[in-house]
Amino acid sequence: MYKIDENNDYISFEFSSDLKYIDRIIDDSIDFLKSNDIGSHNDFKIVVRELIINSIEHGNNNDNSKTVKCKISLVDNLRFNIEVEDEGDGFDYSKLDFKMPEDPEQHRNRGIPLINTLADQIDFNEKGNKINVIFSFHNETKFNVSNENGALTITPSGNITSSVADNFRVILLESLDENNENIVFNFEKVEDLDSISLSLLITFAKMFNRKFPNVVIKVISANNDIKNLFKLTRINKFYNITD
Amino acid sequence: MKHILIAEDQQAARFVFTFQLKKVGFKVTSVENGALALKAIQENLDSDNQIDFLVTDIEMPEMSGLDLYKKLIDLEIEIPTIVMTAYGTKHVVVELMRMGCSEYLDKPFPPEELINRINQIVAEDEKQKKKKSKLEDDRNRFELELNSYKRSSEKLREQVNSAKNAYENIIKIEKKNLNVNLSYKIEPLADLGGDFFSIKNTETGCDILLADVAGHDMGSSFHTILIKSVFEDNVKLMRNGNDFFTKLNRRLIDESENNRLVTAVFIRVNLEEMKAEITSAGHPYTVFLGKDSDKPNQIAVLGDILGILDEVSFETSTIKIKSKDRILLYTDGIEDHGYINSETGKKIKLKDSGLIKLACENRELELEPFVDKTWNSILEFGKYNAKDDMTFATIEIK
């Protein structure tokens, strides 16, 4: 049995407990994502696959007469809710171990930790036979460099974390080559800076000051968390934070 | 020289074929029935005298050509074969073809025909063998490569394991015999972490260090080794927090290839004077939970981060301590631990205020359960979805 229902905001499936349906569900949901302009799906595929395998193997104990329901719905433009329900007895999810098994060869029990790593949030219903997962697609942060009134302005399109650190490093070095002593970071779209990107900012400031002693780099539109971080780590010695 | 076996019950035919084949340079053995042919093949298998080619009649006493062919298939002996058929044996040809033998000659045929066919088949067989051996070569090479990858991946895993063990040893603390009570949790994001926590007795109390190296990979975990050694030296030398961090900063810059930011907090507990000196290198504020005070107090000390800047300085704050006072230390992984709000998609972080709130809720508990419960609440707050190394430690004055 394989039933599918779809409209603009969601796609839902109901199917008997058979692993053979997985690829079909993945394909159909990817089509749904594409209709919502979502590009790359590898992590999403992993999450959906693990969820369905869990519900078939552990939830329904591979009992073919039992069905699994899966619904993928749009929360907002880059976020989706994935709901998977089986007909099993549920389980005590409070005892779940979200930590990845240490043995890389171990394939069992990777499911939930893997989902937890890739998704934003996992919730269960009280019985434990229905799981709700929020999954976000992330646009990789781009760095826009422009010249505004003679100031070289660097505007990241989102958070600066280790995953974009290499790009960030390149942008910083290129900016230094411009020989412009008027540099501004516009952090209006940055909510988070991790310590790797903070390392880069300090190293950059150090190199910048060698070139332009006593010149301060400007940071505009930073949120309070970032302001506090700059204060705590004393990076505000090199960066003048204004609104 | 190819060795050809002829199985033919008629002596005259046997004689003619043997003569003709020997003339063109083949080595020939001839037998008068299938059973003897099978015996000759089996006896000479894998020897210098091995049979390379079989020419067999169908109708023979003892064992027919067809039975011989079947037997060879059963025994998985592969020999190129030509079957000589005669009028009345066409039905056998069909069966032979079904079994995969496609080479047969209709009697009568001129001896040259037999020689031509043998040469053709031998050439084809050589070609196949070459192809097969190339395939086998490829497969062997592939297997070799695979094994070498497997070996290097195992080696890599071993190295990671040994690094992991090293890291586990680095962060392992013997809690017994310490001059203060201690309970702590340290949870690396992956096998290897960049958080380092240590406590050592001194003559007047103890020295405590919590450091956080940016990243959580092998690089950061090796930084922790350097930090450990500088810290342990410092315990012996009893340099103050500012001097210790200045030294540590120098060594981090000089002895590591890449600029990795390190934040750290150093606490010297002096039980003779009942005071604690807290020095910070860009680290999240330490929390003081006085036994009698109603609310926790953040010790706001500032300092430069370590590992990148050449000129650094660090503030130290001194607080008075008494029995049962607690000092809470943590890394920014705790502050940043959180969950994604499903309404807005934004991350809700625990922050220092969240940690202080949890600590207040549990402050009546004994030290161990206090740390356990607070830790579990922290994990629960972030739905167990850690994105950074996390360390939470509490010191209690005895």
- Rounded to the nearest angstrom, the minimum Cα separation between A237 and chain B is 10
Write the residue in B191, B215, B340 that is nearest to A134 by C-beta. Answer: B340
Of the three residues A72, A104, A136, the one that is the final residue of a domain is A136
Q: Which residues of chain A have a CB within 8 Å of the CB of B383? A: 116, 121-122
CA atoms of A119 and B131, how far apart (whole Å): 51
- What are A138's two structure tokens? 């992330």
What is the identity of the amino acid at B136?
E
Of A136, A155, A189, the one marking the end of a domain is A136
Do residues A238 and A177 share a domain?
yes
Reported pTM: 0.69
Shared domain for A157 and A181, answered yes or no, is yes
Structural domain span for residue A235: 143-242
pLDDT digits (tens, 9 = 90+) for B328-364: 999 999 998 988 877 777 888 999 999 999 999 999 9
Residues A108 and A176 in one domain: no
B191·A102 Cβ contact <8 A: yes
In total, the C-beta contacts within 8 angstroms joining chain A to chain B are 84
Same structural domain for residues A100 and A150? no
CATH number at residue A79: 3.30.565.10
Judge if A168 and A85 occupy the same domain: no
Tell whether ipTM is more than 0.85: no
Say if residue A82's pLDDT is above 60: yes
- Among A116, A232, A239, pick the best mutation site for testing chain B contact (most B Cβ within 10 A): A232
Beta-bridge partner residues of B393 = B184, B329
B389 contacts chain A (CB < 8 A): no
User: For an interface test with A, which of B385, B387, B388, B390 has the most A Cβ atoms less than 10 Å from its Cβ?
Assistant: B385
Same domain, A6 and A85: yes
CB contact under 8 A, A191 and B347: yes
Look at A102 and B304 and tell me if their CB atoms are within 8 Å.
Answer: no
- Residues A233, A154 within the same domain: yes
**B contact residues 255-294, partner A, Cβ 8 Å cutoff:** 259-261, 263, 282-285
Q: So what's the pLDDT on residue A102?
A: 52
Query: Which of A136, A161, A176 delimits the end of a domain?
Result: A136
Q: Is the pLDDT of residue B259 over 80?
A: no
Residues B83-140: pLDDT tens digits? 887 766 677 777 777 777 767 888 878 878 888 888 888 888 788 888 888 888 888 8
Please judge whether A202 and B303 are an interchain contact, meaning their C-beta atoms are less than 8 angstroms apart: no
Residue A109 exposure: Cα atoms within 13 Å on the Cβ side: 12
The domain total for chain A is 2
Q: Residue A100's pLDDT is what?
A: 55
Query: A103 and A10 in one domain?
Result: yes
Q: For residue A97, what pLDDT band results from cuts at 50, 70 and 90?
A: low
- pLDDT, tens digit, 9 for 90 and up, residues A141-154: 899 999 988 899 99
Contact B224, B211 (CB under 8 A): yes
Report whether B232 contacts B279 (CB < 8 A).
no
Q: What is the pLDDT of residues B226-258, one digit of tens each?
A: 899 999 999 999 999 999 999 999 999 988 776
- Same domain for A19 and A97, yes or no, is yes
How far is Cα of residue B248 from the mean position of the Cα atoms in its chain? 34
pLDDT, residue A104, reads 47
Q: With bands split at pLDDT 50, 70 and 90, how would you rate the model's confidence at B150?
A: confident
Q: Do B345 and A75 touch (CB under 8 A)?
A: yes
pLDDT of A107 > 50? The answer is: no
The domain that holds A190 is classified in CATH as: 3.30.750.24
Return d(Cα B177, Cα A216) in angstroms, integer.
Answer: 50
pLDDT at A188: 94
Q: Pick from A78, A173, A195, A235 the residue to mutate for testing the B interface (most B CBs within 10 Å).
A: A195
Share of chain B above pLDDT 70, in %: 98
A67 in the same domain as A25: yes
Task: Examine the pLDDT at A103 and tell me if it is beyond 60.
Answer: no
Q: Is the pLDDT of residue A108 over 60?
A: no
Looking at the fold, whether A63 and A41 belong to one and the same domain comes out as yes
Same domain for A55 and A127, yes or no, is: yes
Report the distance separating Cα A35 and Cα A28, nearest Å. Answer: 11
Highest-pLDDT range among A101-115, B99-113, B214-228, B366-380: B366-380
Which residues from B are below 8 Å from A117, CB to CB? Answer: 385
How many angstroms away from the CA of B130 is the closest CA of chain A?
38
Rounded to the nearest integer, the mean pLDDT of chain A is 86
**Which of A108 and A126 is assigned the larger pLDDT?**
A126
DSSP codes, A116-167: HHHSSEEEE-SSSSEEEEEEE--PPP-EEEEEETTEEEEEESS-B-GGGHHH
